[in-house]
Structure 1
């Protein structure tokens, strides 16, 4: 049976060079980075080198990169500490953010009495920037805007430069969950002065369990985790050296090969969208995911024209045919509530039809996409 992996928005295959780098680290650099002897110093040097490398590619300062266990921790750290340390009283966000943001904001509203405003969404799930500007201008409290750059389910792309400018004009802090975009889009933090960002290595062919928070220099944030002076005093706990150098290797590979790999994956998405429309009449795309100008090139969220009863077997059928994709984000696959993103933008009849997220990487081929579409077409015709 064929085995085809089309769930790269959930996690990606680790590059071979990353595995080699991590094996070397585990074998030869096992000292505690906080130790003062040569074993510890070697590990510490590697961590600081990784920090400088990432900062250089992003045109940021090394002190602005704080290594974490991943994007969820980075989002939590930023939002919770902004309320605690920066006296943020109002958070402006949307209802289709990643749960790392929405659940944290809900808790801050309930337990810390933070005022929360939700930006209106258009029919495709994109934030209404006119409404955002209105919310910014009509609130004189200390504000933080939290809007993701790339939506992890429908792929919509935020005009992050425009939002950044609006926040500066209205004296608001700006946090963006960039887990689906770091490693896939170029960044220049001097040109797009976002205050806070989050990244996860496993979204760009690195290891799971490691990521980083971008925290603008002199922000005033204090550690969320206490118990040591690691990460230049920003996050206590012994650093995971092998994961950090794995992240660095994946990050460098992603950006050194960005144009070539981006062009390749763009070609995959174009082929997938065109072939779907040709082979399965009535197929529809959720959000802007069928539009390369308004969505990321890495994923498509499509709706298959089959009835509600038949839809119950779709994901199982695909898995039995060796096709791995997602019916929503992987983070909510154990939930029976369905996608909170699709619940916001689809009507009752549209929600009855099965929606699937297919996400691509450099390791996929057009032949694999054709096979997946053939499996979908056969299922719809049964």
Structure 2
């Protein structure tokens, strides 16, 4: 049978209210409070500054590559380039959730420019995958983030692995961060594969922007650096991008409750019980882009990312009132919990 982590205990009164409110009645009072607080409002000034700073930083780093010239130390600029690329991914993420503009069309255009053109990652592919994750987080068979793949998220998945993948499942906790070095490339490959089943228009628009990114990126790298150094810079940037992005998303759900087949939770519990916040100060918030407030993000995906920290006290108080567990951990502790779950899943194979 699949190994699923049970939800932490919830008071019988709270559970009965959640079951009775088939429309998510326990969520309604919280939604009203958040709406009244004004935190659902768009933040165009914030996003204009964030996108502007990100573009300037990207241009400045490539100028630094040109200035540094043909030296092996130059390839180390791949690390800050990866960090800036992760900021671009965060902004594309926000466009996908329609956090930036009121208009769906404007958000889509921003998503295409930030994702396909600047990052080389398909906006349509990401939106499709990520929206399915938000609808049913940590639900095997519905959430693509816990679907079949190189890593196993349940004992049942691990038991089905064969050959090299079985060995990977056995040691997946130790291999997790090394494997993230391949995630940057995996995201780009997934974007291209997704386009095969899309309309001709999507293939032309998204595919054309992905091609423009690839041509521009490779032209920059190989015109500014010798071939060997350009290849190392590209590899380093993509590896660090994968690690950074994966390190942001891994602590959010791994090791949290996974609904059993046929089990139905209301909206509040479906989002809160499967998510974990990561505590920290300004540095943690910056490194994780504010997505360390994952519970709030899942409950209110259209709230501007910069407002999630302010939503947190409202959500915590509401969960405490209902007796719904609200999971938080420090950064190191969150990785320990996520890797512990991965280790437990692979344990029967050892």
Task: Say which structure is richer in strand.
Answer: 1
| Larger helix proportion of the pair | 2
Query: What's the TM-score once normalised by structure 2's chain length?
Result: 0.28
TM-score, length-scaled by structure 1 = 0.26
Of structures 1 and 2, the one scoring higher in RCO (CA 8 A, sep 6+) is: 2
